[in-house]
Structure 1
Amino acid sequence: MENKLWIVTELFFPEETSTAYIMTEVSAHIAQNADVHVICGPSSYQKSNIVSNAAFANESVTIHRVKALPLNKDKLLQRSLRMLLLSVQLSFKLLAKSRKGDRVLIVTNPAPIVLLVSLISRLKGLKCFTIVHDVFPENLVAARLMSSGSLGYKILKWIFNKAYSKMSVLFVLGRDMKEVFEKKLSSYRKKPAIYVVENWADTTGIFPMGKNENRIVQQLGVTDKIVFQFAGNLGRVQGLMELCNVIKQIRNPLVHFMFIGEGAVKQEMKDFVAVHHLRNVSMLDSFSRNQQREFLNAGDVGIVSLQEGMAGLGVPSKSYNILAAGKPILFIGDRESEIARMIDEHDVGWCYDLKDTRSLLEFFNNLSPEDVLYLKDKGEKARSLAVTKYTREIILDKYLKMTTSEN
């Protein structure tokens, strides 16, 4: 009997989070060449409007769901308890159903999955592949939830490094993340192979469209502005309050900012905008994934930002769909980050350090109507890059080949 590939993920179709979307697409693609079984949580985290995702209707994908307690994900204690309990449930189902020689593919959130599946893989002789979306516990330090000098952090880091060292293969999202793991695992004699597999762009569903006919642009009355758009999680590791302080100092009437999404600092941002009477900022609620073509084309430039200390700890997946929409990227963060490197190598945007307020202000204040053609040129390069290097088929084929290869 053919060995199975078990995919263990808390979030899966019909959820609409990026992790759910990615793991659903990966499952469907690998199912072309493998007997794929998905162990996942209940479909209640976030209702989805996705109608094009194929995995749920793919007969080669068998889904095993576990139940979850009705805990409030918006309350930290209940969310943490839910994460821990779900990790245990998902792992025990893998333990019960897998057999020696099977393969297992996991994603690094929730974090306890890494420890539990690493142990189960050793006990049952499974080959374990890990997609690294978040580097734990380093991301706790970047989010300022833990000190790098604390005993708790050092213990967590040792435990997780040990678990990572026992994996067969690590799929990381960028070169900066690969460098982080090479350093993390340098003291281990036996360690996993590490491959860079970037997120992909939806080059079929998302493509450049004229801004002047865009419904969002018309409603906001910004057809004559250069619109910088941030769409995604308005969280603490994005450095958004620092960006708001820069926006407050901009004196160029041509520049407008559009923030789309939800997150921990959204209310703080709204309060800041109100207190400082910032007429060059629009705060919008989240759109569904199948509305990406519309809202991404409401901007002229896509903003991708990361807090200081986030280099190598995460690669914002939204970057690739910004490219697909034919928009240049303004990256604000560490110049060694994967997105910054990509921008520099392919001339598809600009990079600034979050602390370099002066240079960032000069960039915004010096923009003129004549720069619209300059933006368009970079946008055309962005679209070309998306369709030549980051299509869904190119990236998913990497997962397919590496998880089904006999090597």
Structure 2
Amino acid sequence: MGKIKDRKIVVVNQASNYLTVGFCNAFADKFESVSLVTGSIHIQGEELSKNVTVTYINKWVERPARKKFTSYVIACLKIYWLLLTKYRKHEVFFVSIPPMGYLLNLLVSNRFSMVVWDVYPDVFKITGMKETHWMYKTWASLNKKSFNKAFRLFTIGNKMADLLEVYVSRKKLIIQPIWSIFQANERVVKEENPFIKEHNLQNKFIIQYSGNIGLTHKVEVVVEIAELLKDNPNIVFQIIGRGPRVPALQKMVEEKNLPNCMFLPFQSDEMFPFSLSAADLGIVILDELTSKGSVPSKSYNLMSYGIPSIYIAGEDSELHDYAQNFNAAKCFTERELNKAKEFILQISTNEQQWNEMSNNAMNTSKLFRRDNADKFVELYLKE
């Protein structure tokens, strides 16, 4: 079957990662004309097809908050202009950033679709914003118009679909999971792992949080669990990442005098498989105010390496359902940290339980493979 010639599509994401590359390549398998509008492309394994034409806009700025917001606004203006000019005859497939970018479908005539895996304005509840706030009410009102106008509206799980039902009919939503960076269990054994050797972690049970440490990430939960286990010298907690809250967390660890906590910066792409391989247990955290509206990609990466996890999230979250359905993780609320402690003590000394959960994680990871990108495109094209 030949490629589609009478339709053109442009994928839009200010900060493109492996997921955006996967979408582009999957579309390039079906469409003769595929473009990408982005500020940057972070290649993680899969290379971007040479058949995809790239137009660069300004890069996403992580911090400070003022510059981040400014970068979002500039990106929106540039995307809007490109959709009015260079890509006025293209269908649009919007992914992720800038977070308000999908609202541009209210201003352009393009056939416009979007993938939603962080639900705004609901995310703002983490900052204490109430639903009565003018920004929240305005964004929520625009969501209803934008989502109803969308050609295809994708989300990645049932709980997220529940949340989006506030804005649009469930019948409009297409639920399709995403995928891991890693497509096979390439976990490196500890005896051969340079990350283990570099940080003298031999014979340690390593519990690892790896990700952003911003205002909306409750990484202090990791420190609180570490405090509960500070008298166990065989268990080490790693906090890997960057963000404005790192100094406060480091001070928290110092004040609590916790010898079992270590901080590391984000690892290079070359070292990342080794740092992930070092983990015996992963930690994935979602603020309970918004845990229904997100699934961190790290949860899929942990599965793909057969690493059991602790999820700190609400009972209404997708992560809670994953824990219940797949038994590759245990989910606890922020009020159940003592239960999390008991689980850690149990699994750190019970090799059979660890192996069972590890095998469950690897089996579950098969649901989150790269061919999910192709499934997005198949659903996009479905009549």
TM-score (norm 1): 0.86
State the alpha-carbon separation in 1 of the partners of residues 225 and 62 from structure 2.
Answer: 32
Q: Deviations over 1:209-252 (max 9, x none)?
A: 31233222223333222211111112333321133123212233
3-state DSSP class of the match of 2:293? Answer: coil
Gaps of 5+ in 2: none
State the alpha-carbon separation in 2 of the partners of residues 66 and 364 from structure 1.
Answer: 46
Residue from 371, 375, 378 that aligns with 1:401: 378
State the alpha-carbon separation in 2 of the partners of residues 94 and 230 from structure 1.
Answer: 39
Q: Deviations over 1:256-290 (max 9, x none)?
A: 11111112322211111122221111111101334
Residues 195 and 271 in structure 2, CA contact (< 8 A), matched pair in contact too? no
3-state DSSP class of the match of 1:3? Answer: strand
Residues 27 and 36 in structure 1, CA contact (< 8 A), matched pair in contact too? no
Q: Is 2:290 aligned against 1:310? A: yes
3-state DSSP class of the match of 2:115? Answer: strand
- Hey, what does 1:279 align to over in structure 2? 259
Residue from 312, 317, 342 that aligns with 1:362: 342
Identity %: 22
Alignment of 1:156-305 (within 5 A): 156-186=139-169, 193-204=172-183, 206-250=185-229, 251-305=231-285
State the alpha-carbon separation in 1 of the partners of residues 200 and 141 from structure 2.
Answer: 53
- Give the aligned residue type for 1:267: P
Residues 44 and 269 in structure 2, CA contact (< 8 A), matched pair in contact too? no
- Hey, what does 1:392 align to over in structure 2? 370
**Aligned-pair Cα RMSD in Å:** 2.3
Kindly state the Cα deviation for residue 67 of structure 1 after the two structures are TM-superposed.
Answer: 4.8
Residues 201 and 392 in structure 1, CA contact (< 8 A), matched pair in contact too? yes
State the alpha-carbon separation in 1 of the partners of residues 188 and 50 from structure 2.
Answer: 36
3-state DSSP class of the match of 1:296? Answer: helix
Decide which moves more: 90-99 or 23-32: 90-99
State the alpha-carbon separation in 2 of the partners of residues 350 and 67 from structure 1.
Answer: 40
Q: Is 2:119 aligned against 1:113? A: no
- Hey, what does 1:34 align to over in structure 2? 31
3-state DSSP class of the match of 1:236? Answer: coil
Q: 1:259 to 1:129 in 2, by over 3 A?
A: same
Gaps of 5+ in 1: 13-19
Q: 1:396 to 1:366 in 2, by over 3 A?
A: closer
- Give the aligned residue type for 2:37: C
Residues 331 and 351 in structure 1, CA contact (< 8 A), matched pair in contact too? yes
State the alpha-carbon separation in 2 of the partners of residues 312 and 338 from structure 1.
Answer: 6
State the alpha-carbon separation in 1 of the partners of residues 46 and 287 from structure 2.
Answer: 32
- Hey, what does 2:9 align to over in structure 1? 5
Residues 157 and 176 in structure 2, CA contact (< 8 A), matched pair in contact too? yes
Residues 10 and 91 in structure 2, CA contact (< 8 A), matched pair in contact too? yes
Kindly state the Cα deviation for residue 307 of structure 1 after the two structures are TM-superposed.
Answer: 1.1
Kindly state the Cα deviation for residue 365 of structure 1 after the two structures are TM-superposed.
Answer: 4.3
Q: 1:149 to 1:233 in 2, by over 3 A?
A: same
Alignment of 1:108-147 (within 5 A): 108-120=96-108, 124=109, 126-144=110-128, 146-147=129-130
Residues 224 and 254 in structure 1, CA contact (< 8 A), matched pair in contact too? yes
State the alpha-carbon separation in 2 of the partners of residues 346 and 262 from structure 1.
Answer: 30
Q: Deviations over 1:157-207 (max 9, x none)?
A: 112222122112211122110111113325xxxx87212222212444652
Kindly state the Cα deviation for residue 396 of structure 1 after the two structures are TM-superposed.
Answer: 1.1
TM-score (norm 2): 0.91
3-state DSSP class of the match of 2:107? Answer: helix
Residues 211 and 298 in structure 1, CA contact (< 8 A), matched pair in contact too? yes
State the alpha-carbon separation in 1 of the partners of residues 62 and 183 from structure 2.
Answer: 33
Q: 1:6 to 1:159 in 2, by over 3 A?
A: same
- Give the aligned residue type for 1:9: N
Residue from 94, 98, 104 that aligns with 2:92: 104
Kindly state the Cα deviation for residue 51 of structure 1 after the two structures are TM-superposed.
Answer: 6.9
State the alpha-carbon separation in 2 of the partners of residues 75 and 367 from structure 1.
Answer: 40
- Hey, what does 2:71 align to over in structure 1? 82
Q: 1:288 to 1:350 in 2, by over 3 A?
A: same
3-state DSSP class of the match of 1:223? Answer: coil
State the alpha-carbon separation in 1 of the partners of residues 270 and 176 from structure 2.
Answer: 24
Decide which moves more: 80-89 or 157-166: 157-166
Decide which moves more: 198-207 or 230-239: 198-207
State the alpha-carbon separation in 2 of the partners of residues 133 and 368 from structure 1.
Answer: 33
State the alpha-carbon separation in 1 of the partners of residues 173 and 138 from structure 2.
Answer: 24
Q: Is 2:67 aligned against 1:63? A: no
State the alpha-carbon separation in 1 of the partners of residues 33 and 106 from structure 2.
Answer: 19
- Hey, what does 2:332 align to over in structure 1? 352
